[in-house]
Amino acid sequence: MKTSLRNRLAGLFLHSFNDEEYRAVIRALSLFCEVASQLGRLEVLLSEMLDTRESGGLDKHAIAVFARLAGEKELLQIRRQDTGEMFIGGKPDPRGGIPCLVQPQPNVRAAFQEVRERVRIYDDLVTRMGRIDVTSSARDPLRKAMGEAAVCFNAGLFFEAHEHLEHFWAAQPKGATKRFLQGIIQISVGFHHACAGRYDGAINQLGKGLEKTLGMTGSFLGLDCDAFLLKVAAVHETMRRGGPGNMRPLHLSQIPPMLIHD
């Protein structure tokens, strides 16, 4: 998956923590991926998408949501089936006698299976957001951000966890909090490398993250440091002792979760 596409998808998901409209966009993109996979083709009639509404698809704003995803610089295209003309903006009417095709942009098409899997995870988390409060520490933006980063991290979205915290880290003055945030960011990056089987990147970034969080105990920004950091250190040491020759991609079950306390 190209970096630009990965960043675009991550941006959509991270905005969904605070914006219901972005959650609808994630649901729409997930629905397209699943319908396309079920049909075995990447060109899907817009009417076929809407017909799934009764089985848990989109709400009454479905057309507007798909229009939001479509365009020359967006993730999908909406075209007239008869002429191939692309709809840019506006809200095409699939019931108005002009069949409309939804299809991925070339960069999405090239990485469709990767996009589908990532968006599936996003959709699952977005659904959970509607049932539980995953960001209950709203009075403290940093605690809220840590809780949101933990949601990403625990789902294996280490890049998204890193991206989310980096904005808050950059805005912090020098001190213990900034150093701690950078440590958690580096741990996230380390596990990103570890899941891809990249020994040097994993060892280097996990080591730097553990160094920056050294001595942190109890709860800091809501994170249970005792439960998390000791286990991260154990995984790091096991990898280090095994050496690059024994490095295998880590499974999510081998990675300690970030436990958040309110």
**1-17 pLDDT, tens per residue?**
888 999 999 999 999 88
Q: Answer yes or no: is 261 within a domain.
A: no
Q: Is residue 234 part of a domain?
A: yes
Is there a single domain that holds both residue 80 and residue 112? yes
End residue of a domain, out of 68, 96, 128? 128
CB atoms near residue 47 (< 10 Å) = 12
Q: Is the Cβ–Cβ distance between 226 and 118 less than 8 Å?
A: no
Ramachandran category for residue 60: left, alpha or beta (phi over 0 → left; psi -120 to 50 → alpha): alpha
How many Cβ atoms are within 10 Å of 7's Cβ, its own excluded?
12
Does 55 fall in a domain? yes
In a domain, 259, yes or no: no
Same domain, 107 and 153: no
Helix (H, G, I), strand (E, B) or coil at 57: coil
* Contact by Cβ (8 Å): 89, 65: no
Looking at the structure, tell me whether residues 98 and 198 fall in a common domain.
Answer: no
Would 260 be classed as within a structural domain?
Answer: no
What is the distance between the alpha carbons of residues 105 and 243, in angstroms, rounded to a whole number? Answer: 41
Tell me, yes or no, whether 109 and 147 share the same domain.
Answer: no
Verify that 93 and 139 share a domain, yes or no: no
Question: Is 29 in contact with 44 (CB distance < 8 Å)?
Answer: no
Asked if residue 86 lies in contact with residue 94, where contact means CB atoms within 8 angstroms, the answer is no
Residues 138, 250, single domain; the answer is: yes
Tell me which of 54 and 29 has the higher pLDDT. Answer: 29
pLDDT digits (tens, 9 = 90+) for 130-185: 544 544 445 688 999 999 999 999 999 999 999 999 999 999 999 999 999 999 99
| Residue 100 and residue 154 in one domain | no
pLDDT at residue 19 tops 70: yes
Q: Say if CB 26 and CB 16 are below 8 A apart.
A: yes
Instruction: Based on the fold, state whether residues 122 and 179 are members of the same structural domain.
Output: no
Q: Domain for residue 250, yes or no?
A: yes
Residues 168 and 199 in one domain: yes
Total domains, the chain: 2
Residue 243 lies in a domain: yes
We report the CATH number of the domain holding residue 201 as 1.10.3450.10
Residue where one domain finishes, among candidates 105, 128, 151: 128
Task: Please determine, for residue 57, whether its predicted confidence score (pLDDT) is greater than 80.
Answer: no
Of 75, 107, 128, which one is at a domain's C-terminal end?
128
Tokens of 2: 């190209």
**Beta carbons of 122 and 151 less than 8 angstroms apart:** no
16 and 73 assigned to the same domain: yes
Tell me the whole-structure pTM to 2 decimals: 0.85
Write out pLDDT tens, residues 188-231: 999 999 999 999 999 999 999 999 999 899 999 999 999 999 99
Residues 147 and 80 in one domain: no
Same domain (yes/no): 116, 94: yes
Q: Which domain holds residue 63?
A: 3-128
pLDDT score for 114: 94
Look up tokens 């580096």; give the residue. 186
User: How would you list the strands of the sheet with 76-80, edge to edge?
Assistant: 44-45, 100-104, 76-80, 86-87
What pLDDT score was predicted for residue 89?
Answer: 55
Question: What is the pLDDT averaged over residues 232-248?
Answer: 95
Tell me the mean pLDDT in the region 20-43: 89
Domain assignment of residue 221, yes or no: yes
